[in-house]
Structure 1
Amino acid sequence: MMVWNWIDRTPRRVLALISLACVALLACGLYLQHVVGLVPCPMCIVQRYALIGLALLTGLASARSAKGWWLTLSALAALTAGFGATVAARQSWLQWYPPQSVSCGRDFYGMIESFPLSRAIPMILRGSGDCAAVDWSLLGGSIANWSFLCFALLGLLLLALLARGVRGARQRAPAPV
């Protein structure tokens, strides 16, 4: 109950914390890339874009005091978290059940530059050989597994925030005449 009270009283702080969590996750990804030396696959890059979108949407929502703004931006952020979780789940699936033929193919930017978007997006989501590789793990989970967990938790927190915000708006609304 204490958590729900905190969410009810400080939704903008919750949104700011979600934004900071996204920035921290992006920093972890950049650390793994530039310090540890891991090269991100196309699906990892899509997940980074989802994190950037999530950070921007929740950051903007926390900066806006009008309830309509933060509810709308939070709903968009929840959709973005769902998209990120879907991509991470797909990558986890590829890691658990790798494709029969492994070909590294083009990188993310090569796909975007060489093919129309309608053809590049399915190629990215199909994954490539390097999307199925597990180059690093923590407590038995790959980066994709942890990414899915983070997106799912942030998405659930956003949905709880939205449910509480909408419920609170309904309770305060005057009765129709």
Structure 2
Amino acid sequence: MIAFLRHIACQRWAWGLLAASALFLELCALFFQHILGLHPCVMCIYERIAILGVLAAGLTGLVNPQKWYLRWSALLLWGFSAVRGLQLALQHVDYQLNPSPFNVCSPYADFPSWLPLDSWIPWLFFPDGDCSEISWQFLGFSMPQWLVAIFAAYLLVATVVIIGNLARGRCCD
């Protein structure tokens, strides 16, 4: 099993699949925003950035997964993005399920002054929605609740693949 996990992490198709899944989620977010007219809140924007981190990890691994430094860079970025995305999604669910004047998100994105994404690419990163508003549901779950499941799945798979790559042995044939 460990050899199989090491082998999978050295395959370009696996990294391509990871990148494709994250790209699909980003395109879904843009569909909801620009076609269906749902306004993203600050937490939505931060979760979107976490998905972009998973996409960047997939693209990094896609470059050359046989090189250990690229594979490990991609694995660590994937794991970090999944953990951070899960934290953000859980906090967003808390805003929705426990709305109060004391439990609200900021109306403005807190990007570094040297990287004002909301000014540079407003069609992708400008928040103008309310974090506590539930404007879309599927099977009784809101979008942040679905993102909890998605980020948890990303984290579970990343953890299994990382553990498989920690075991000693030859990775790539």
The reply to whether TM is greater than 0.5 is: yes
The percentage of aligned residue pairs carrying the same residue is: 25
Structure 1 alignment gaps of length 5 or more: 118-127
Q: 2:63, 2:112 → 1: CA distance?
A: 35
1:111-158 deviation per Cα after TM superposition (whole angstroms, max 9, x unaligned): 5489xx9xxxxxxxxxx9810111001111111011111111012111
Matches within 5 A, 1:3-152: 7-11=5-9, 12=11, 13-64=13-64, 65-100=66-101, 106-108=107-109, 112=111, 130-152=130-152
TM-score, structure 1 as length reference: 0.76
> What is the Cα deviation at residue 57 of structure 1?
1.7
**Structure with larger Rg:** 1
- What's the CA shift for 1:5? 6.7
The residue identity in structure 1 corresponding to 2:77 is L
More displaced 10-residue stretch of structure 1: 88-97 or 12-21: 12-21
CA shift, 1:102, in A, is 8.0
- What is the RMSD of the two structures over their aligned residues, measured on CA atoms? 2.8
**Maintained 8 Å contact 2:16/2:62:** yes
Secondary structure of the 1:130 match is coil
Which structure has more helix as a fraction of its residues?
A: 1
Distance 1:70 1:41, change over 3 A: same
Deviation, 1:63, is 1.6
Higher relative contact order (CA 8 A, sep 6+): 2
> Shift of the alpha carbon at 1:67?
2.3
Unaligned segments of structure 2, at least 5 residues: 117-127
Using the alignment, how far apart are the partners of 2:156 and 2:103 within structure 1? 34
Conserved in 2, the CA contact under 8 Å of 1:94 and 1:132? Answer: yes
Q: CA deviation at 1:105?
A: 6.0
Number of equivalenced pairs = 155
The offset of 1:58, in angstroms, is: 1.9
Distance 2:81 2:112 in 1: 24
Runs of 4+ in 1 over 2 A off after TM superposition: 4-10, 12-15, 100-108, 111-114
